[in-house]
Amino acid sequence: MLRLPPLRHEAPGTLDEAVALLAVDGAMLSAGGTDLVPNLKRRQYPDAATIVSLRRIPGMAGVRVESDGSLHIGSLTKLSSLAEHESIPLVVREAALSVASPQIRNQGTIGGNLCVDTRCNWLNVPQTWREAAEPCLKAGGETCWVAPAKKDCWAVSSSDLAPVLVALGAEVQLVGSGGRRSMPLEDFYRNDGMAHLTKGADEIITGVVVPPSSDMRASYRKLRRRGSIDFPILGVAVVASFDDDQVCTASRIVLGSVASSPLRVPEAEEVLVGRPFGSEVIAEASEAARKFARPLNNTDLTSRYRKRMIPVYVTRALGDLVEG
Ligand SMILES: Cc1cc2nc3c(=O)[nH]c(=O)nc-3n(C[C@H](O)[C@H](O)[C@H](O)COP(=O)(O)OP(=O)(O)OC[C@H]3O[C@@H](n4cnc5c(N)ncnc54)[C@H](O)[C@@H]3O)c2cc1C
Ligand code: SF4
């Protein structure tokens, strides 16, 4: 059995206290803990000293419909609540329902899901296995074992909600020692496996704002080995609007789990806009997505197979938007 290392546990009652605790070296924030705790048990964070839990802070969970039709989702809202909430767009509910298992969805939160650490076959193993080789870049060494010729970490963004909420144009609200701010979720990510979030270490997501989407059609398709419980090894989120003649007027296509951040595919989005929606443009957009993405051999199944699945999953997701 893997055990946690010795750690202090703090459960502040206010956001201000949490921000102050997070400013200290070695502090790590915990929401549901379903990603953090296994990573700690595998000794992926050797500098961790204190866990700062958000769970005693009131008012951090729940969904509110704003007067302009947008949704405010508190960052501690559980994935299971999200999946059941009638005001939440169906595509978000389905993506939430595809995460892990019922037990984990009852514990895991939307904020934690958006910040879930990047994953790699070399790193997400127990410490004793990792010690069979020199530490890789992300573990403090000098070489990335996935792409040794480069000086970057390519660990994989593995959140199901991130590509969907980027495609819907969501924003995150943050609080930290520098005050409060909001930013498009798209800008919250950086394609760097070691530092995939652009937020500061003491910044906490307080909420997620999803703009009105009732005039859009959307779909999320997820590739994984086991349908019952598995991280995505490819996620395809598509959102588009159409005029009365079924001509696409706007689109967003976002790939998850092919890089260290969710990736929008502008080449594929442009193919759709201004043209009647059907099998011809869907095939062109799917091919554009295939050319765009370069999955590596650091998660389940081979990179070659995952690359071949990109046009298949984009075709399926866009096919979900065809009316009738
Ligand atoms: C067996 C298993 C299967 C899984 N399958 C999937 C899957 O299919 N899809 C998927 O997307 N995930 C999966 N996960 C990962 C995880 O369970 C979910 O992503 C979950 O939603 C994480 O939420 P949490 O609240 O538990 O996060 P935590 O573990 O508490 O936190 C995760 C990270 O986010 C940070 N964080 C948490 N909340 C905030 C906040 N409000 N502001 C700033 N930073 C924050 C933490 O510091 C930590 O770095 C799986 C996990 C396990 C163990
Ligand atoms: S991609 Fe490379 S540096 Fe990053 S975790 Fe994997 S082996 Fe380590």
296 lines ligand 2 (CB under 6 A): no
- The Å distance, Cα 277 to ligand 1 centre, comes to 36
In whole angstroms, how far apart are CA 108 and each of 36, 61, 92? 10, 12, 15
Ligand 1: which residues within 6 Å by Cβ? 28-36, 38, 75, 79, 99-100, 104, 107-109, 111-113, 115-117, 158-160, 204-205, 229-232
Asked if 164 and 95 count as a contact pair (C-beta separation under 8 A), the reply is yes
CATH code, 217-319: 3.30.390.50
Share of the chain above pLDDT 70, in %: 100
Q: How many whole angstroms separate alpha carbon 52 and alpha carbon 7?
A: 10
Question: What pLDDT shows up at residue 99?
Answer: 98
pLDDT surpassing 90 at residue 1: no
Q: Which structure tokens are listed for 107?
A: 């514990």
> Is residue 282 left, alpha or beta, with left meaning phi > 0 and alpha meaning psi from -120 to 50?
alpha
Q: Which structure tokens are listed for 228?
A: 């019952």
Let me know how long the chain is: 324
CATH code, 1-57: 3.30.43.10
Mutational pocket test of ligand 1: of 99, 159, 161, 205, the residue with most ligand atoms within 8 Å of the beta carbon: 99
Please identify, by atom number, the ligand 2 atom nearest to the C-alpha of residue 154.
1
156 lines ligand 2 (CB under 6 A): no
| Ligand closest to the CA atom of residue 207 | 1
Question: What pLDDT shows up at residue 142?
Answer: 93
pLDDT surpassing 70 at residue 324: no
Reduce the DSSP state of residue 63 to 3 states and report it: strand
Q: How many whole angstroms separate alpha carbon 125 and alpha carbon 118?
A: 13
- The Å distance, Cα 130 to ligand 1 centre, comes to 22
- The Å distance, Cα 178 to ligand 1 centre, comes to 25
123 lines ligand 2 (CB under 6 A): yes
The domain segmentation of the chain, as residue ranges, is 1-57, 217-319
Ligand 1 atom 16: residue of nearest CA: 35
The 10s digit of each residue's pLDDT in 201-216 is 999 999 999 999 889 9
74 lines ligand 2 (CB under 6 A): no
The 10s digit of each residue's pLDDT in 227-249 is 999 999 999 999 999 999 999 99
Place of tokens 């199901």: 160
The 10s digit of each residue's pLDDT in 128-143 is 999 888 999 999 999 9
Ligand 1 atom 17: residue of nearest CA: 34
Q: CA nearest 317: which of 285, 294, 291?
A: 285
